[in-house]
Amino acid sequence: MLTRVIPASCLALLFSSCAITLAQDTNMARALRLMSETPLIDGHNDLPWQLLKQFNNELNEVDLHTLNTTHTNIPKIKQGRLGAQFWSAYVPCETQYKDAVRQTLEQIDVVHRMCQKYPETFQFVTTSQGIRDAFRANKTASLIGVEGGHSLDSSLGTLRVMYKLGVRYLTLTHSCNTPWADNWLVDTGSEPPQHNGLSPFGKQLIAEMNRLGMLIDLAHVPVSVMNQVLDMSQAPVIFSHSSAYTICEHKRNVPDDILLRVKATGGIVMVNFYNDYVTCSHTANLSNVADHFDHIKKVAGATIIGFGGDYDGVTRLPEGLEDVSKVPNLVAELLRRGWTDVEVKAALGDNLLRVMAEVETVSGTLNNRPPDDVPIPYEEVQNPCRTSFGYRNAGAVHSLSTLVLLLALALQAGFTLTP
């Protein structure tokens, strides 16, 4: 009988490999247990934008059980243990001054129809309690966030109508200035500031969002707007999909001094997974994303952290977080790094639930205040696609703008103007 002797060095390597695998399995099992107890609430997913781009919102042509051209589908949602999702109602800045409101309403509509088509998976909700109820029913709570203030066409009435349709956060800008707020590109120097942050109407809008109970999203705004909103908002704010500036010095990320202000005001920063915001390069991995979680926790504590993957809104995602199904990998990594169960549950959903509940409470204290019906000054929004109905003494300005538009069209058509 032959006996094979295994060298001690090989045995040590074998035992070490088994120990690592066991630790990984233990962390994943713990992650899945925590995700079964607390809903994973993701702050930003652009699946509705993909439904528009790929299918023109014709949901009858789509099966979310088998769709494989997106980061998000129903099997991936279930594998990723997605407890609640803010679906983004996003339309590009090119729609500003044109059909932004219509396009945004259609994105709100497609979220509602998605929930209606797949009621066994999605439950449309508008409150913190609604998220808890959907989680207990083993469904993904579905909320709406409008990504970009240009979607309002500078109208408080439009803001209120969108709230009634279920919108629960507004990202103040996307990547263009609005007539009342500067966007994040101002901080890069690639665009000039127009308002030094918020205009007077922009400040009106913040107050009206507090009154309504709509979350104020500071992703995509410059530092000037971050500070102005943190100064004046009576309710905590969110960054629905932004990461830590100290780890990756991209102007879409949040500086340390703002992290501290978010902590002081009870808000939340939901970490973005886009490679360019994670490592400031085209490549990244899961560990790099966890570095942002660690840094925010170190600076401001675990009570301001959340998940804001930006799935289906970005083109590059970290190795290990390629789609919605992979998020448990990140939860397990945080546990491996020594995060406690309480800290992980805070980041998963408890923080956002707290913020949402506080926004609802502030709204309740303001419900006796009448809606703000003072419109933005006409001269701040005057353009060839806008009429002046309702504005006093704006008729002459409107007539002049119409004349200018007609003259421009005539010249474009090659007509000769004669005296």
Active site residues: 44, 46, 147, 174, 220, 241, 310
Q: Are 343 and 297 in contact (CB under 8 A)?
A: yes
Q: Annotate 223-257 with three-state secondary structure.
A: HHHHHHHHHHCCCCCEECCCCECCCCCCCCCECHH
**Main-chain phi, psi angles of 332, to 5 degrees:** -65, -35
Distance spanning both ends of the chain, measured CA to CA = 115
Q: Which residue has the tokens 């805070």?
A: 346
Residue 19: alpha-carbon gap to chain centroid: 39
Distance CA 303, CA 309 (A): 18
Residue whose structure tokens are 């970009």? 148
Among 316, 312, 324, residue whose Cα is nearest residue 51:
312
CA pair distance 381, 113, nearest whole angstrom: 33
Using DSSP's 3-state secondary structure scheme, residue 412 falls into: helix
- Please, what's the b/e burial string for 47-64 (b: 16 or more CB within 10 A of its CB; e: otherwise)? bbbbbbeeeebeeeebeb
β-pair partners for 104: none
